[in-house]
Amino acid sequence: MSKTFRPWQVDQTLLLPPSVHDFVPADHPAHFVRDLVREDLDLSAILASYDETRGYPPYNPWMMTALLLYGYSRGVYSSRRLARACEERVDFMALTALNQPDFRTISEFRRRHLAALADLFGQVLLLCRKAGLVQLGHVALDGTKIKANASKHKAMSYGRMVKAEPELAAQIAQWLEAAEAGDVAEDADFGEDRRGDELPGWVVNRQERLDKIRAAKAELEAEARAEAEEDAKQPKKHHGGHKPKTPPETPKDSKQRNFTDPESRIMKAKDGFIQGYNAQAGVDAAHQVIVAQGVTQSAADSGQLIPMVDAIKTNTGRKPREVSADVGYCSEANLEALDQRRIRGYIATGRQKHPAGGEKQRKGPWVEAMRERLKRGGHRSRYRLRKQLPEPVFGQIKQARGFRQFLMRGIDKVSSEWALICTVHNILKLQKAS
């Protein structure tokens, strides 16, 4: 007797259309994200831009927002991959109700409403607070370097700019002379309907590069002048030794500018130097919810401690009782500012291989008091929470969900993109707790 199998009727049509609620299990994150956007999020900032009644109806903004948030939670960030998922994956079909926006529509929606999407971080954080996921008893701060949408090989130092500018200018001038000398021959070859003096393509590319070099060189020089003016306002101090190699108002030869994303910076990461940004996060100890986030162009973390602490109070309405951070955040000014805000700090005071600002920032009475506090606590010190909180969060974002490079360019767009990433992280925490 032969074995009986379940029917596989590929050509069988359904009498009734299937329900998208049955595409994935009832407890699937696709249902949660879709219902969260429809029922709990205020999208008035996005809806306000749709003021034209005429024209073909656009895709529903709630659906598009849910698509982006859910896609980010699944590690799908590219607009092309999101569009493909709407056609191939049943979890995305359950979320979009079988709508299939193309990648240009998805990309334009994200670009157009990026700032409003970033503002959803505050709304989702409020939902986490209402669900009891945020206690603010202890918050750990940390930063992670994330690659920019630019190659570090597309950067050029100021010293190289000074040398390359006259070389390129001379080369272009030589080519233009050759092009002008060939006008007569071009008229004979192409006829009277063409001028014959059009710039060849190989000249245009060099000219564009020269224009970029001159623009970047001017920006570096403007920054150097601004720094010189700021230094002139400070009280003068006598310093012995030789005169500085670089005169005031002139950038150092090592100063760089990237042509693809000029606002990104060369930074030291675990795997070497990258062209990127420094993404910051403040993580609550109760459920690893991100309560503050931001992006900076500075590779050093020391300037981010107080802004992040103040952002926690802005986002939640309360200040944390305790804050922990690694040695990169330690300075006399930071520790004093924490004391003024009546926040108990646990900031490492040890040495760094390449400390930003030098050891002088980590000397003084506040640093000594912090060193004694950590020493008294020993292995039971509250500082131990620092590694238990931000590192797993960054691991979930960068490893589990594969976010290792920004899609956007420029500090403003990158900051909004990081806010969206942190929003999705909190949504997943909310979904697990529901």
Q: What pTM does this model have?
A: 0.78
Per-residue pLDDT, averaged over 181-204, amounts to: 58
Query: Is residue 354 scored above 50 in pLDDT?
Result: no
- Model pLDDT, residue 172: 64
Q: How many angstroms separate the most distant Cα atoms in the chain?
A: 102
Mean of pLDDT over the chain: 84
Q: With CA atoms as reference, report the closest residue to 413 among 76, 71, 73, 114.
A: 114
As a three-state string, the secondary structure of the chain is CCCCCCCCCCCCCCCCCCCHHHCCCCCCHHHHHHHHHHHHCCCHHHHCCCCCCCCCCCCCHHHHHHHHHHHHHCCCCCHHHHHHHHHHCHHHHHHHCCCCCCHHHHHHHHHHCHHHHHCHHHHHHHHHHHCCCCCCCEEEEEEEEEECCCCHHHEEEHHHHHHHHHHHHHHHHHHHHHHHHCHHHHHHHHCCCCCCCCCCHHHHHHHHHHHHHHHHHHHHHHHHHHHHHHHHHCCCCCCCCCCCCCCCCCCCCCCEEECCCCCCEEEEECCEEEEEEEEEEEEECCCCCEEEEEEECCCCCHHHHHHHHHHHHHHHCCCCCEEEECHHHCCHHHHHHHHHCCCEEEECCCCCCCCCCCHHHHCCHHHHHHHHHHHHHHHHCHHHHHHHCHHHHHHHHHHHCCCCECCCCCHHHHHHHHHHHHHHHHHHHHHHHC
What is the sign of the dihedral through the CA atoms of 109, 115, 118 and 124?
negative
Which residues, in sequence order, are CB contacts of 348 under 8 Å at separation 6+?
325, 326, 327, 330, 374, 383, 386
Higher pLDDT among residues 166 and 347, named by residue: 347
Per-residue pLDDT, averaged over 416-430, amounts to: 97
Q: Which of 148-162, 269-283, 314-328 has the lowest mean pLDDT?
A: 148-162
Query: Is residue 318 scored above 80 in pLDDT?
Result: yes
pLDDT in tens, 14-43: 888 888 899 999 999 999 999 999 999 999
Query: Is residue 127 scored above 70 in pLDDT?
Result: yes
Q: How distant is the alpha carbon of residue 209 from its chain centre?
A: 27
Higher pLDDT among residues 207 and 111, named by residue: 111
pLDDT in tens, 81-115: 999 999 999 999 999 999 999 999 999 999 999 99
